[in-house]
Structure 1
Amino acid sequence: MADFETDYLIIGAGAVGLAFADTLLDEDPDCHITIVDKHARPGGHWNDAYPFVALHQPSSTYGVNSMELCPDRVDQHGHNAGMYPLAKHAEILAYYSKLMSERMIPSGRVAYHPLTEYRGKNEAQHSIKGILSGEERSVTVRRKLVDGTYFKTSVPSTHKPDFEIAEGTRFTIPGDLPGLWKDTGNLPDHYIVMGGGKTAMDTAVWLLEAGVSPEKIGWVRPRDSWMFNRKLLQPAYHRIEGLIEFQVALVEAAAASETGDAMFEELGRRGTMLRIDEDVIPKMFHFAVISEAEIAMLRTIKTVYRQGRVTKIEPGKMHFAQQSVDVPENTLFIDCTASAVPFEARGTVAKFFDGDTITLQLVQAPFVPYSAALGAFLEANFDADDEKNALCPPAPLTDTTDTYPYAVMANLMSTAILSNNEKTNAFNAKSRLHPTGPAIARMMAEGDPRLAALGKIGPKIQSNMPGVIKLGMAAKAIHEGV
């Protein structure tokens, strides 16, 4: 006999699992949900993130459907000035704690088990185990297991460096930087940021804003990255013009290009995409969003190492596969090499709905919470797995300029599928997590004159779609290694 029963057992109390649970509470008022997570509080990988991390995109479409994340206002200072707010680390954790304590648990329909790991299924029962207590309990799941851990997010504090660190080397992770004030008599003379992704960019910006001179910062950047220009990705109701410009630029650049690199070059010319070094052609694209002000700051760092990946660090020296370079003796190396999402897992695509298991994945890249919430809506409002899966084919998790056109094509096809279904179209119109749905519904209700410009997007996409598909299919072949 099981220790307890539930309708849905959700693995993970992070952005994915909580977005699913939140929508399921509203869409299926009779179900009971049990959530297990290894962390001590809700928020998933945000618990492990560095304290100065913030969302890349405006907070208006992050979190869960039932609760706003940040006030609807414009930032007045800093590198996000003139744009809508980016929730910070502490705000995100407080948000998820409030969601759990004020909505989920008080509903009487959610059981939350922190510091608990899912152990698997044995015949008809599932097993969970308390990490600190060691107590193992069995669970009867009346309906489905929901896996919210597909993305397996990696952050510096949980990542193991894949290079050698010699004894006596000053080495740290981004999360420890704010504590440097505790030992002001032993501050480093120089800093080297290791990694080319958004974590490295956040870290470099933090150092610069903390007063470190650009001359005292080195940056190991084996690959450069393209990034979305944040000014075009503001909340739809307030800045619909930017989103129109962004979408039109994507389809026109894709349709006019023979390769992903050519597409990015055109998007860079238009200002839709940004890069740090104008003399370097980036090959990496991880859906990061950045402001022009941050780019200007990052360009002040002139010491950039492009010798490839680091193999070993030691006092006064840094080693690469084919070369070693001298660095200042009292250098603090900062490891930013963790990949937030393990793109190497992109080939492991499961069915979203598969019998008694739901594997939460991307439906539209990179909208992770929206995709999870849509999954809950489909679960509650459609019956057959085949029908549900047809509405949410998993979006590809691409990571290079060569493969990104595949994601563009897949997103456009997903939008068409969901728009052509009466139920999912209605869901998008009310989902806070959808980038445009509620804004367009509000504009229609108000008779907003901006709808005239919005109405031109459909024909523009349709006329460019053959070119988008041609480039997207070529990118798909690269992505799948065909």
Structure 2
Amino acid sequence: MSTPEIETDYLIVGAGAMSMAFADVIFSEQPDAKMVIVDRRHRPGGHWTDAYPYVALHQPAAFYGVNSTRLGQGGTDLASGAEIVAYYHLLMKRFVDSGRVRYLPMSDHQGDGRVVSVVDRAPRAEVRARRRIVDGGFMNVEVPSVTPPKYEVEPGLALVPPNQLPQMASAWQRYAIVGAGKTGTDAIVFLLAAGVDPERIQWIAPHDSWLWLREKVQPGIALAEFLRHADSLIQAHTVDDIFLHLERTGSLCRVDATVMPEKWRCATISAEEFAALQRIRDVVRLGRVRRIASDRIELERGSIPTDTRTLHVDCSANGLARKLAQPLFAPGRITLQSVFMCQQVFSAAILAKLALLDLDDIARNAICEVVPHPEYTHDHPTTMLASFRNLMSANRHMPFWLWRSRLNLLHHETLHRYLAGAVRLHRLMPKLESAVAKMLATATETATA
């Protein structure tokens, strides 16, 4: 049986959030363009299809999804995982029903347009992309349900991903949550809401993280929040100064005021969720788990007791792991990456718009630089500064498109406030560049002293 040959404009590898945001701009703004979307999963939505059932957006739905279609109820609404999966299903249906998009689920792109089935490795198609192959899976999101833990677990001990918590048929003596990221905090909040006594929850937190209070990143006030971050960069002498200043202004928080967090991953949290986390007293700060044995959990800096009456909940998958940046635009290829700190779908939409501008790849790459997902506090100054730089640069090429983009956190500002904010940021940029350069130089001198 011969392998079908398909000619298209764009071959998009992956049907996750970034791929769909990219495809939507092409679909909406280039009416003659055709696309083939290849994905290993059985339905669109990327990691949302594997996430735990009580998951919800951590930022307002007003900023998430694709440019052309509203998600959720607007305002401060946080769409549920089920709503998001349905949203992408309907979006893909609209793409396919147009006759301009071919969707190949349960398929793997092996390079150069060769697509095979994931269930029997048989060839499905040979795709020739006239314009670009778009790598939408580079910033792959790892979730515990499909990512095995990186530590050993002895037989006979109960270890489950957070997906299984709603399926519990009986109570456990104790619950040990492994992981300090957003998945771990969601699991704790879920257990507390289900009536579990906080004294029966143990939180194994390899690192403390700064958390972003969600109330500060909302439609209509996000501009003021980002200007606060800009002011903190200018006023700070050290990286710690940035976070302490933002804590004083009510933008950021930390679970334990006596511990200076090392991590910064843009994780947002509501005031109610934050109060719930502070009810957990048994917080283990001994590094990452190395092994869970029958009677103990071995960590990097010690061990703690455990037993068969404890349900261990693995929330240790790294989510958006930091990767070495790749060129955004290369001959025949686009690699989707963030160009605005922690705003992946907005970044993908910007890259799609850049692909449509009458520019060469050198010019496109000069407009926006890659902003890797931050991991540690020392990533904040460079990722925030690069985000501001990209916003200013892109604004020179597509100002009204940026303001109208519903994925832009600043979209909900009035035009007057948006323009005033852009002018203020433009004036602050020399100070920001100087302050961050001085801060990094001081940090380097301290580290080598």
TM-score by length of 2: 0.93
**Which residue does 2:86 correspond to in 1?**
94
Identity of aligned residues (%): 35
Q: Matches of 1:464 and 1:429 in 2, distance apart?
A: 20
**Which residue does 2:395 correspond to in 1?**
419
Q: Which runs of 5+ in 1 are unaligned?
A: 74-83, 445-450
Instruction: Report the residue type matching 1:35 in the other structure.
Output: I
Q: Matches of 1:404 and 1:308 in 2, distance apart?
A: 22
**Which residue does 1:468 correspond to in 2?**
432
Q: Are the equivalent residues in 1 in contact too, given 2:58–2:269 (CA < 8 A)?
A: yes
Q: Matches of 2:147 and 2:138 in 1, distance apart?
A: 17
Q: Matches of 2:59 and 2:403 in 1, distance apart?
A: 20
Instruction: Report the residue type matching 2:402 in the other structure.
Output: N
**Which residue does 2:278 correspond to in 1?**
299
Paired residue secondary structure (2:283): strand
Displacement of 1:195 in angstroms is 0.8
Task: List per-residue Cα deviations over 1:280-327 (Å, max 9, x = no partner).
Answer: 111101111111111100000000111111111134421123422223
**Which residue does 1:61 correspond to in 2?**
63
Paired residue secondary structure (2:263): coil
Q: Matches of 2:153 and 2:34 in 1, distance apart?
A: 49
Task: List per-residue Cα deviations over 1:451-471 (Å, max 9, x = no partner).
Answer: 46x666456545644442234
1:207 aligns with 2:191: yes
1:334 aligns with 2:279: no
Q: Matches of 1:21 and 1:193 in 2, distance apart?
A: 37
> 1:68-79 to 2 correspondence within 5 Å?
68-72=70-74
Instruction: Report the residue type matching 2:91 in the other structure.
Output: L
Paired residue secondary structure (1:120): coil
Q: Matches of 1:475 and 1:54 in 2, distance apart?
A: 36
**Which residue does 2:19 correspond to in 1?**
17
Q: Matches of 1:388 and 1:363 in 2, distance apart?
A: 12
Q: Matches of 1:149 and 1:472 in 2, distance apart?
A: 31
Equivalent of 2:291 in 298, 309, 312: 312
Instruction: Report the residue type matching 1:173 in the other structure.
Output: P
Displacement of 1:394 in angstroms is 1.3
Task: List per-residue Cα deviations over 1:170-198 (Å, max 9, x = no partner).
Answer: 111101111103xx3xx311001011111
Instruction: Report the residue type matching 2:121 in the other structure.
Output: G
**Which residue does 1:153 correspond to in 2?**
141
**Which residue does 1:288 correspond to in 2?**
267
Q: Matches of 2:192 and 2:364 in 1, distance apart?
A: 48
Q: Are the equivalent residues in 1 in contact too, given 2:157–2:307 (CA < 8 A)?
A: no
Q: Are the equivalent residues in 2 in contact too, given 1:419–1:425 (CA < 8 A)?
A: yes
1:130 aligns with 2:121: no
> 1:135-284 to 2 correspondence within 5 Å?
135-136=122-123, 137-181=125-169, 184=170, 187-236=171-220, 240=221, 243-284=222-263
Q: Are the equivalent residues in 2 in contact too, given 1:190–1:328 (CA < 8 A)?
A: no
Q: Matches of 2:391 and 2:300 in 1, distance apart?
A: 45
Q: Matches of 1:475 and 1:179 in 2, distance apart?
A: 49
**CA distance change for structure 1 residues 114 and 59 in 2, over 3 Å: closer, same or farther?**
same
Q: Are the equivalent residues in 2 in contact too, given 1:12–1:149 (CA < 8 A)?
A: yes
**Which residue does 1:448 correspond to in 2?**
none
Instruction: Report the residue type matching 1:472 in the other structure.
Output: V
Q: Are the equivalent residues in 1 in contact too, given 2:392–2:426 (CA < 8 A)?
A: no
Task: List per-residue Cα deviations over 1:100-144 (Å, max 9, x = no partner).
Answer: 11x2011110000000000112xxxx2000112432131222221
Quick check: 256-265 or 295-304, which moved more? Answer: 256-265
Q: Matches of 2:347 and 2:367 in 1, distance apart?
A: 11
Instruction: Report the residue type matching 1:55 in the other structure.
Output: L
Q: Are the equivalent residues in 2 in contact too, given 1:189–1:328 (CA < 8 A)?
A: no
Equivalent of 2:410 in 414, 418, 436: 436
**CA distance change for structure 1 residues 23 and 459 in 2, over 3 Å: closer, same or farther?**
closer
Aligned residues: 442
TM-score by length of 1: 0.87
Equivalent of 2:110 in 97, 100, 119: 119
Q: Are the equivalent residues in 1 in contact too, given 2:72–2:79 (CA < 8 A)?
A: yes
Displacement of 1:398 in angstroms is 2.1
Task: List per-residue Cα deviations over 1:42-99 (Å, max 9, x = no partner).
Answer: 10111111111111100001001111111125xxxxxxxxxx1111110110000011
Q: Are the equivalent residues in 2 in contact too, given 1:406–1:475 (CA < 8 A)?
A: no
Q: Matches of 2:214 and 2:36 in 1, distance apart?
A: 37
Paired residue secondary structure (1:402): helix
Task: List per-residue Cα deviations over 1:207-265 (Å, max 9, x = no partner).
Answer: 000110100000001211011111111112xxx3xx24312321111111112111101
Q: Matches of 2:332 and 2:439 in 1, distance apart?
A: 33
Quick check: 427-436 or 90-99, which moved more? Answer: 427-436
Q: Matches of 2:358 and 2:190 in 1, distance apart?
A: 47
**Which residue does 2:10 correspond to in 1?**
8
**Which residue does 1:353 correspond to in 2?**
329
Q: Matches of 2:426 and 2:90 in 1, distance apart?
A: 43
RMSD: 2.1
Task: List per-residue Cα deviations over 1:2-26 (Å, max 9, x = no partner).
Answer: 6221111000001011111111012
